[in-house]
């Protein structure tokens, strides 16, 4: 269930929405609303963290997916000074602003970088600065927050999370360590249920007009409102120790795309390089041999028990003989189909014959010929050792290599998302 939108003051600049909307405020169609992710290459805490893999996806990919799938932005941009970040940004559907050296320093501020972007893109009316380090962002967060700008007439909206922390001020940094309370009376400590808590910036996004950015030098100016996010979605990554915590959180609360994993009914799996390590051994008598990991075959059985049909794909290039294909079918309980150099053409027909859509399909491949299917399938994955052309097309990159547990890992991901979708359905149905 989406969190409630809350609006309120922000000190002297806070206030109620304007009664007269600015031109074009009735919808994004009249105003150029841009999403902008700042992704400098010189991160000190975690080097190149913006493209480091988090739960199988580049960190930058999580927020780009949410921005693109919200369908609320006229354009989606990444501002960077690094070639690898640019490559990932384009692969995830963003345009790229190559920032100048003047705003690429350790001392450069976000505001300076955004102002440079706005000067070079004068057609933009509203900028939504999304933090790349907020991987649990969902499209509905952006949609609801943008409505506060485009429909309710606010000039600035930013994300917050409600915290119930008792805070103390450091008076003396030496010894003795003298302190005093900031937000509580020690003689009357409130119970959590009796205290509304405090609103803290979550850092997920800041939306404001270019007028406020350029003329006032503010990301939170004019008529200001806040958008409250639930704590489970408020994840930030700054140092190495944050990474494993964020990975577990994003697996449970992250946004995995428009597809509803609960309705995935069919999985295509490339045998060579996914189910096997990509090698075929020949005995002295000319008999073909392959190595198959038992964890992977167990993963296939897990999918089948959950009513997901699995089709194994071979090709003439793989040189998988009919006897070997027959043995694979017997061992896994899956149908084996030989496809040509462009499997997408044949698999499209198969999907149509089964009266399914690609939103019902998961695909696991490992090379150039799989790119079309990886892009089209609702859920797609490649092994850890796949080439970059396949990695850039996949929605998930396994930690394991082909033939070494990657299939089991992807199977668990599919089942996790099925369970997550069912749980969300139960939760929404009980409200």
Mean pLDDT of 270-291: 76
Least confident of 107-116, 280-289, 292-301: 280-289
Global pTM value: 0.66
Span(s) in the chain for CATH 3.40.50.1000: 261-430
Residue-level pLDDT at 19: 34
**C-alpha distances out from residue 245 to 233, 252, 356, 367, 368, Å:** 13, 11, 37, 31, 33
Tens-place pLDDT, residues 18-61: 333 333 333 455 899 999 999 988 776 677 889 888 877 889 99
- Among the listed residues 90, 189, 252, 279, the single catalytic one is 189
Known catalytic membership, residue 163: no
Question: Residue 338: which H helix or E strand, with range?
Answer: strand 335-339
Q: Please state at what angle helix 59-70 crosses helix 83-91, rounded to 10 degrees.
A: 40
Tens-place pLDDT, residues 172-189: 777 788 889 999 899 999
CA 113 to chain centre: 23
Q: What is the DSSP letter of 285?
A: T
Q: Is the link from the previous residue into 176 a cis peptide, with omega within 30 of 0?
A: yes
Does residue 377 have a pLDDT over 90?
Answer: no
Does residue 330 have a pLDDT over 60?
Answer: yes
Kindly indicate the confidence band of residue 126, based on its pLDDT and cuts at 50, 70 and 90: very high
Does residue 200 have a pLDDT over 90?
Answer: yes
> 291 φ, ψ to 5°?
-105, 125
Class of domain 28-166+194-253: alpha beta
Residue-level pLDDT at 319: 59
Span(s) in the chain for CATH 3.90.550.10: 28-166+194-253
Does residue 8 have a pLDDT over 50?
Answer: no
Kindly indicate the confidence band of residue 320, based on its pLDDT and cuts at 50, 70 and 90: low
No. of helices (H) and no. of strands (E), the chain: 12, 19
Residue-level pLDDT at 36: 98
Residue-level pLDDT at 13: 31
Residue-level pLDDT at 337: 85
CATH architecture type of domain 261-430:
3-Layer(aba) Sandwich (3.40)
Contact in structure between 339 and 313 (CB atoms under 8 Å): yes
Does residue 92 have a pLDDT over 60?
Answer: yes
């Amino acid at each position: 269930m989406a969190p409630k939108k809350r609006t309120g003051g922000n000190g002297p600049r806070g206030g109620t929405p304007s009664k007269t909307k600015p031109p074009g405020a009735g919808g994004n169609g009249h105003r150029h609303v841009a999403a902008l992710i700042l992704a400098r290459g010189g991160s000190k805490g975690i080097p190149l963290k913006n493209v480091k893999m988090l739960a199988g996806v580049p960190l930058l990919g999580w927020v780009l997916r949410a921005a693109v799938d919200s369908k609320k932005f006229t354009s989606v941009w990444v501002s960077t000074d690094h070639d690898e970040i640019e490559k990932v940004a384009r692969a995830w559907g963003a345009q790229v602003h190559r920032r100048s050296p003047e705003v690429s320093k350790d001392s450069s501020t976000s505001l300076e970088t955004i102002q440079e972007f706005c000067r070079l893109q004068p057609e933009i009316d509203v900028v939504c600065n999304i933090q790349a380090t907020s991987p649990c962002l969902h499209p509905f967060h952006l949609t609801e927050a943008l409505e506060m700008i485009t429909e309710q007439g606010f000039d600035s909206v930013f994300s917050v999370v409600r915290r119930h922390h008792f805070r103390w001020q450091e008076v003396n940094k030496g010894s003795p360590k003298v302190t005093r309370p900031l937000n509580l009376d020690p003689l009357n400590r409130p119970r959590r249920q009796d205290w509304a808590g405090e609103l803290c910036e979550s850092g997920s996004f800041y939306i404001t007009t270019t007028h406020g950015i350029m003329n006032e030098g503010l990301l939170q100016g004019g008529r200001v409102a806040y958008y409250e996010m639930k704590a489970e979605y408020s994840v930030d990554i700054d140092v190495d120790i944050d990474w494993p915590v964020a990975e577990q959180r994003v697996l449970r609360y992250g946004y995995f795309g428009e597809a509803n994993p609960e309705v995935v009914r069919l999985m295509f799996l490339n045998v060579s390089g996914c189910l096997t390590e990509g090698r075929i051994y020949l005995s002295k008598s000319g008999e073909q041999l392959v190595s198959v990991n038992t964890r992977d075959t167990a993963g296939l059985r897990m999918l089948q028990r959950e009513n997901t049909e699995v089709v194994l794909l071979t090709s003439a290039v793989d040189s998988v003989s009919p006897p070997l294909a027959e043995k694979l079918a017997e061992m896994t309980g899956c149908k084996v189909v030989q496809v040509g150099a462009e499997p997408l053409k044949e698999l499209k027909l198969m999907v149509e014959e089964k009266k399914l859509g690609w939103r019902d399909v998961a695909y696991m491949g490992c090379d150039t010929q799989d790119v079309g299917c990886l892009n089209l399938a609702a859920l797609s994955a490649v092994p850890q050792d796949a080439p970059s052309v396949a990695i850039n097309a996949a929605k998930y990159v396994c930690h394991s290599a082909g033939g070494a547990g990657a299939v089991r890992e992807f199977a668990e991901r599919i089942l996790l998302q099925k369970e997550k979708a069912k749980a969300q359905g139960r939760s929404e149905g009980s409200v």
